[in-house]
């Protein structure tokens, strides 16, 4: 009986100490970010993408998410937000900080913003002998001094007439243009007149417009090939390697 009386207080003290230890606020663990992901790691200027933050809290505490972008605009709140890319190409950092009442964790993801060149309208329907008027648009051009490109088409369905190209409003008054029609392609070269110390053009705009005439019923993809876009030093413009090219289509009925 004496043995039991001695053991009982010791066991009671051990249990009491164990229960009391769990109430210490210093034992609260901060949240941890498991992953910060995006729907696309390379986007075009002005494009919108989703960004998702996956986080856990060992104590099951309620989490707060705060977002910050080096450039561009963040829309929404919580663990999933939208990010609108800026109008200028480059690398952009988006940071998410996850917090509870005792601490926080942060993570940053890098997204490349690239210029875009596209044919507009993306699809056009005409009849035989009718003209399709198309334009080549550039979005997010940086320090552009000269362009050369081939517009390839199905010459069994459409053809490019002589003098079918008109220079666009992207270029200054001193820009020069040369064109050549070669079987199934339209070759276009445009450049500014070289002036000492003058930079290329930055921004959006129409590079050139061109005409295709319907020959026979069918479809013709309008495709970019052999594109070169350079600055005043003869180097590829910023973001050229990641540039998105959006082709077009002409349907002849």
Q: Please report, for the domain that includes residue 240, its CATH number.
A: 2.60.40.680
pLDDT digits (tens, 9 = 90+) for 158-204: 999 999 999 999 998 889 999 999 989 999 999 988 665 577 899 99
Report the residue count for the chain: 253
In this prediction, residue 10 carries a pLDDT of 46
Same domain, 180 and 134: yes
CATH number at residue 107: 2.60.40.10
- Please tell me the distance from the alpha carbon of residue 116 to that of residue 118, in angstroms, as a whole number: 7
Higher pLDDT, 239 or 216: 216
Same domain, 108 and 186: no
Domain count, the chain: 2
Residue 6 lies in a domain: no
234 φ/ψ sector (left φ>0, alpha ψ -120 to 50, else beta) = left
Model confidence at 25, pLDDT cuts 50, 70, 90, reads low
Residue 84 lies in a domain: yes
Residue 1 lies in a domain: no
Same domain, 137 and 110: no
| Nearest Cα to Cα of residue 221 among 180, 185, 179 | 185
pLDDT digits (tens, 9 = 90+) for 110-157: 999 999 999 999 999 999 999 999 999 999 998 999 999 999 999 999
Cis peptide before 121 (omega within 30 of 0): yes
Residue 10 lies in a domain: no
Write down which residue in 98, 114, 130 finishes a domain: 114
Write down which residue in 59, 84, 114 finishes a domain: 114
Same domain, 161 and 207: yes
Same domain, 108 and 130: no
What contacts 183, CB < 8 A, 6 or more positions away?
Answer: 155
Residue 156 lies in a domain: yes
Same domain, 70 and 169: no
pLDDT digits (tens, 9 = 90+) for 75-103: 999 999 999 999 889 899 999 999 988 88
Rounded to the nearest 5°, which phi and psi values hold at 162? -65, 145
What contacts 173, CB < 8 A, 6 or more positions away?
Answer: none
Same domain, 78 and 146: no
Same domain, 90 and 129: no
Same domain, 84 and 146: no
Same domain, 80 and 178: no
Same domain, 67 and 180: no
- Please tell me the distance from the alpha carbon of residue 84 to that of residue 118, in angstroms, as a whole number: 19
The model's pTM is 0.77
Q: Is 242 helix (H, G, I), strand (E, B) or coil?
A: helix
Rounded to the nearest 5°, which phi and psi values hold at 137? -105, 140
Write down which residue in 114, 129, 164 finishes a domain: 114
DSSP-assigned beta bridge partners for residue 189: 148, 178
Q: Which domain holds residue 72?
A: 27-114
Same domain, 150 and 238: yes
Residue 212 lies in a domain: yes
In this prediction, residue 135 carries a pLDDT of 97
- Mean pLDDT score across all residues of the chain: 88
Residue 193 lies in a domain: yes
Rounded to whole angstroms, what are the CA distances from 82 to 39, 66, 75, 107?
A: 10, 13, 5, 17
Residue 165 lies in a domain: yes
DSSP-assigned beta bridge partners for residue 56: 32
């Amino acid at each position: 009986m004496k043995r039991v009386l001695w053991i009982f207080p010791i066991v009671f003290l051990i249990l009491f100490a164990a229960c009391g230890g769990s109430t210490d606020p210093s034992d609260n663990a901060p949240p941890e970010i498991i992953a910060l992901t995006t729907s696309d790691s390379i986007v075009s200027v002005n494009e919108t993408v989703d960004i998702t933050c996956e986080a856990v809290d060992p104590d099951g505490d309620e989490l707060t998410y705060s977002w910050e972008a080096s450039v561009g605009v963040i829309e929404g709140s919580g663990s999933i937000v939208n990010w609108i890319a800026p109008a200028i190409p480059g690398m952009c950092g988006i940071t998410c900080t996850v917090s509870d009442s005792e601490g926080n964790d942060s993570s940053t993801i890098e997204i490349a913003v690239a210029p875009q060149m596209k044919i507009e309208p993306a699809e056009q329907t005409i009849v035989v002998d009718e003209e399709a008027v198309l334009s080549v648009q550039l979005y997010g051009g940086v320090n552009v001094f000269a362009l050369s490109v081939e517009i390839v088409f199905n010459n069994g369905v459409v053809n490019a007439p002589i003098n079918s190209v008109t220079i666009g409003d992207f270029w200054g008054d001193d820009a020069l243009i040369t064109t050549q029609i070669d079987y199934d392609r339209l070759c276009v070269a445009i450049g500014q007149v070289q002036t000492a110390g003058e930079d290329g053009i930055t921004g959006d705009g129409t590079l050139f417009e061109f005409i295709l005439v319907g020959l026979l019923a069918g479809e013709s993809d309008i495709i970019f090939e052999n594109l070169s876009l350079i600055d005043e030093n003869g180097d590829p413009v910023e973001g050229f390697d990641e540039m998105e090219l959006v082709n077009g289509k002409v349907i002849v009925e």
